[in-house]
Amino acid sequence: MAELKNDLFLRALQRLPVPRTPVWIMRQAGRYLPEYREVRGQAGDFMSLCRNPELACEVTLQPLRRFKLDAAILFSDILTVPDAMGLGLYFETGEGPRFRNPVQTAADIRKLYSPDVSGELGYVFDAVSLIRKELAGKVPLIGFAGSPWTVATYMVEGRSSRELPTIRGLAAEDPAALTMLLDKIAVTTVDYLNAQIEAGAQAIMIFDTWGAALELDDYQRFSLANMQTIIDGLTREKGGQRIPVILFTKGAGPMLAEMVGTGCDALGVDWTTDLSTAREYVEDKVALQGNLDPATLRESPEVIRAGVARVLESYGNGPGHVFNLGHGITPDIDPEHLGALVDAVHELSPQYHTD
Ligand code: CP3
């Protein structure tokens, strides 16, 4: 395997000194890029793109050709796991993910099987190996999965939902069944992420998009506990290199303080908490990743640069910051605006790393 030429991202996650703040962007491979839309058109639909290792590799590398990014992220989706558990994932154009066979009752949950990930999800690990080969050590590769709670919201609701009525009902009426579901997802996710690491993923991120829909007690019980199970089961070192783990509960706010105890290396922060406050919550025990409001990318390059400056200033001096948005980049963004963001991080961040 080629030697890693840019380790800023891995160093920052471990709070080691760096000459500038590393940067990557959630959903950096995606519809805002015309070259992505072109390849997606070739593949036919989103899942066919995910299932084709050559095309998944191609779209993973596209943003790195345009922008001076410090990490690549596997092109895939958090819903490949329930798809492999037999739920039948499909994407309705313009409407997001859907499942043909949602799980809604204790009986449905009992019947769910834990797939052999090397068979059902082999296409993901093939993509990881190929991406590592094509990256040739340029930057590290991030592997990922959804948190069991967030994945379960889609499995139970059968689609994207803000109110989450069905899974909230299950939590209230049959918490034991919900716990069984979350445990099953967690077990499969551990296998899935360890296989990504085995295939070459150099850091892991867990996306918990819907954890903050729960109040603190329920968050700990239904979201955080299962992320803890995953962290406890992960391979944390490979070939003498630490595999850092980033947890991202969108909208976590003060719950960031609870998340530190999981043994993660870093926490993702969205734009509703400023980084100086987040740094106080976590007492500098872990690194922080974030947190520019994705809507800022709709503004002029000057406004974007000022937004970058504010985020850097909010984190302040010292190591342990990875620059990112507070959530994924949206399809309406002009790619040149992302270029302005990345350039601003390169130009403005060295002053925070002088000692
Ligand atoms: O960040 C990256 O570049 C890596 C790839 C990635 C995708 N999805 C590709 C994708 C990652 C890390 C995800 C995570 C994901 N997927 C999450 C957690 C993060 C978050 O955004 O909160 C969630 C909740 C999903 C589930 C999902 N997948 C939804 C709700 C949708 C529809 C969203 C939309 O904007 O239409 C997807 C589809 C999806 N996943 C797209 C991409 C690039 C758009 C698909 C397309 O080309 O039409």
Task: Provide the pLDDT for residue 1.
Answer: 76
Q: How confident is the model at residue 113 (pLDDT cuts 50, 70, 90)?
A: confident
Q: Is the pTM of this model over 0.95?
A: yes
Residue 277 pLDDT greater than 90, yes or no: yes
CA 93 → CA 26, 96, 170, distances in Å?
Answer: 21, 7, 29
Q: Does ligand 1 come within 6 angstroms of the Cβ of 251?
A: no
Mean pLDDT computed over every residue of the chain? 97
Q: How confident is the model at residue 94 (pLDDT cuts 50, 70, 90)?
A: confident
Q: Does ligand 1 come within 6 angstroms of the Cβ of 77?
A: yes
Q: Does ligand 1 come within 6 angstroms of the Cβ of 326?
A: no
Task: Provide the pLDDT for residue 95.
Answer: 83
> Nearest-CA neighbor of 60 among 25, 95, 85?
25
- The span from the CA of 38 to the CA of 263, in Å, is 40
Residue 2 pLDDT greater than 90, yes or no: no
Q: Going by CA atoms, what residue is nearest to atom 13 of ligand 1? A: 77
Task: Provide the pLDDT for residue 24.
Answer: 98
- The span from the CA of 260 to the CA of 177, in Å, is 28
Residues designated catalytic: 27, 31, 40, 77, 154
Residue 93 pLDDT greater than 90, yes or no: no
- The tens digit of pLDDT for each residue in 118-162 reads 999 999 999 999 999 999 999 999 999 999 999 999 999 999 999
Pocket test for ligand 1, best of 23, 78, 131, 139 (most atoms within 8 A of CB): 78
Q: Going by CA atoms, what residue is nearest to atom 10 of ligand 1? A: 77
Task: Provide the pLDDT for residue 15.
Answer: 98
- The span from the CA of 75 to the CA of 57, in Å, is 7
Mean pLDDT computed over 324-343: 98
